[in-house]
Amino acid sequence: MGIPLVQVDAFTDKPYGGNPAAVCVLSEAQPDTWMQRVAQEMNLSETAFLLPEGDGFRLRWFTPTVEVDLCGHATLASAHTLWSEGHLASDQEARFYTRSGLLTAQRQGDWIELNFPADPSQPIQTPEGLANALGATPVAVVENALGYLVELAQAATVRDLQPDFAALGKFPVHGVIVTSRGEAPYDVVSRFFAPALGINEDPVTGSAHCGLSPYWREKLGKTTFLAYQASARGGVLQVEDRGDRVVLRGQAVTVLRGELLY
């Protein structure tokens, strides 16, 4: 008997868009080495592993190379899987115990609402070589728990970036968020590069918006905004800033069901 696996496209309402994540709902704990090897086999930006615990689930996220502390799109995919595969009733809150504390998810019509911790940033001097690695001149650079957050002057510049991933991977951070004011209907546009985590570009990054939310709250003078992550696959997020928490809303689509054999 294999272990069920579901692949979900997150932050999209159409198959083969957004950010794909694999989700395994486990009936018993598995070794860390096994989970890491499965994530490497899946070769997606994240593979999520869920194990029932108390009134919720222990949730862990693995890239092909490392375990991470927080992942938005794989949490969205996990919640979607719990409801769509019958692990939770459709009106039941999903509760996840993680390295980043308790995270919750609720269904809001066709959308899923995630409650995440905010990731405030601190201004820093532009690191030497960062502009060259990105191929663009920053308006501002700040740093948060995820890495560097780089503001550029125009959305078109964000969309057209072709970074030097080898150079970006040498900076002492998990990743680099690049952002600007958006173009209608979007308030904010961004991309996320994380070669140090084995992901040159993440298609849609929920955790990045935990930092983008407090950053743009101050600049836009508003606590709710519509965000677009301008990767090749693209993804849409509704973002609500609640001070020390950030609410992210997105949609998700199941694209594959199978089982792991070993």
Asked, for residue 114, whether it belongs to a domain, the answer is no
Q: Is the whole model's pTM more than 0.85, yes or no?
A: yes
Asked, for residue 235, whether it belongs to a domain, the answer is yes
Are residues 158 and 234 both part of a single domain? yes
Task: Give the pLDDT score at 1.
Answer: 67
Asked, for residue 216, whether it belongs to a domain, the answer is yes
Are residues 137 and 170 both part of a single domain? yes
Q: What angle do helix axes 208-220 and 72-84 make, rounded to 10 degrees? A: 110
Are residues 72 and 38 both part of a single domain? yes
Are residues 63 and 7 both part of a single domain? yes
Asked, for residue 176, whether it belongs to a domain, the answer is yes
Asked, for residue 214, whether it belongs to a domain, the answer is yes
Catalytic residue positions?
46
Are residues 185 and 210 both part of a single domain? yes
In the predicted structure, residue 140 carries a pLDDT above the cut 90: yes
**Structural tokens at position 13:** 């309402």
* CATH code of the domain in which 12 resides: 3.10.310.10
pLDDT band at residue 198 under the 50/70/90 scheme: confident
* Domain count across the chain: 2
Antiparallel, parallel or unpaired: β 175-181 and 188-194: antiparallel
Host domain of residue 72: 3-107+250-260
Element (H, E) at 165: helix 165-168
